[in-house]
A and B are shown apart, each in its own frame.
Chain A
Amino acid sequence: MTPNGAIALVIVVVLAAMMARISGLVALYLFTALFAVIEVGPHAAVALRRAVILMLPLAAFMILVWVGVVGRAPADIAASQPGSRMNALIYVSIVCARLFLIVAIVQIAAMRFATLTPLQFIQALRAPVALKRLGVLTLSLVETLLQAVDRAHTALIASGVITRRISARNLFHGWVLVQTVWLTAITSVTGRMRDKWPMEHTLQLLDPLLAETHAAPLATPDKLWIFSAAVIAVGIVWGDFHGVP
């Protein structure tokens, strides 16, 4: 599977999930399971664990708001009926099932390329060079920003503006930390753009690397997966028109 194929597949599955009712969700879960087993293998468990970690707090929050506070499903509210907490729970379960599927397919697709470095992934993409360059620069700045956070944090603790542990002072001066991180990062990148990169010809070396891609836009397995997902999506739309639950 190619990176372009994975992105296209995720888009089709996500759109289908948003339209799906219960039967459609079941079909998409089966499809996603098949995709995980064939394309990712045992590593799919790691992707699923990540999806659960992302979804659990969200599900708890939705249950708190809908079942705990509101106590009715949106359909009950729209029909001006008293409703019940059970209806609210069913509603939350369907929304959470849909969101979990979306999170899971994204994580599984990402896991498919876990062996590639982010630079290799971007290099293999069929996309305009400016976008690929933006991706590479963003990745390179992540490390710069982490260092900026570290430096600013240490300097502000040393000067007594903020503290290492949770405190009211941190709440009031948190904004100073944001400003300091911003300025530290700006200073670093200005130095790089003005001195380091021109001296080392970084950008001249980067552009040909990003421009040359040997990968086809979509490989045969990509087309098969995307076609299968599209068939399910069409089935979901058809079911929607014909009142399939």
Chain B
Amino acid sequence: MLTTPRLIAIALCAALNFAVGSIVYLIKLPLYLDSIGTILCALLIYPDRRAAFVCSFLAAMISTVITTLFINPFLIWFSATELALALVAAYFIADAEAIFRARPLPMLRFGTRVVLYGILTGVVSAVVSAPVVAYVFGGVTGSGSAFLVAFFLKAGQHLMAAVLHSGFTAEPIDKTLQVLFAALLFRATPKDFIEMVRARPQPAPT
């Protein structure tokens, strides 16, 4: 399952998660953009769904560990969210890989899939993250979305409700952008690299 081209793809996608996610975290936007590489990894490896899931989860965990060590000590607690994201990416988003690479670009189908999968990923992510945000961190995680939690708390909501509402407000927008960026990068990736990544390991000669 873990061939050298796949290990390379995992490392590149982890680096992408780390680079974009860290910039967004440091400028405190109410977005995350830290899973573009996770989604892209599943798209690159797609027809083998199990490998797509394992590789995209590995990419997510490497970037999570590196980001936790150097930028954001909160992030490691969201490993379950990374797991859910990798599952959604491998078993749902990757289904659209043919549409994402179709030439000429089928604008309507492309846009519909991006929004649909963005909302799905956003809802899953919000539901899985909410208990961690509410019970482990009391609502404040250091990212820009804490302002949204504060806004809902000021409006008189209880902590869990405020965290869930904040998640449902920010996550679908964030994840739609992430699916869009991953789809555009996948579209731009050279065909020969994708073929190398998707090639199954050759059995040893007897």
Contact = CB atoms under 8 A, between A and B. Distances in A.
A103 B72 CA distance: 9
Interface string B128-164: 0000000011111010001101100110001100000
B120 interface: no
Contacts of B188: 179, 182-183
Contacts of A133: 2, 4, 7
Contact of B184 (A55, A70, A179): A179
Interface string B68-84: 11111110000000000
Contacts of B12: 141, 145, 182, 185-186, 189
Nearest to A146: B15
Given A133-B7, A141-B11, A203-B4, A190 B190 contact: yes
Contacts of A119: none
A87 to B, nearest CB: 12
Interface stretch (A28-36, A57-65, A150-158, A234-242): A57-65
Contacts of B147: 65, 69
Among B74, B150, B190, the one with the most A-chain Cβ atoms within 10 Å of its Cβ is B150
B113 interface: no
A59 B62 CA distance: 25
A175 B36 CA distance: 13
A102 B73 contact: yes
Contact of B190 (A73, A175, A187): A187
Contacts, number: 116
Interface of A: 18, 54-55, 58, 61-62, 65-66, 69-70, 72-74, 77-78, 91-92, 95, 99, 102-103, 106, 110, 130, 133-134, 137-138, 141-142, 145, 175, 178-179, 182-183, 185-187, 189-190, 193-194, 197, 203
Given A133-B7, A182-B12, 8 more contacts: A54-B70, A74-B159, A95-B137, A134-B11, A138-B11, A138-B62, A182-B189, A193-B5
Interface in B165-206: 181, 184-185, 188-190, 192-193, 196
B150 A70 contact: yes
A130 B2 contact: yes
Contact of B138 (A54, A95, A178, A187): A95
How many B residues touch the partner, as a band?
Answer: 35 or more
Contacts of B4: 133, 137, 193, 197, 203
B14 interface: yes
Contacts of B102: none
B28 interface: yes
B20 interface: yes
B185 A190 contact: no
B10 interface: yes
B122 to A, nearest CB: 20
B140 A66 contact: yes
Given A61-B146, A138-B11, A77 B69 contact: no
B116 interface: no
B69 A106 contact: yes
A61 B185 contact: no
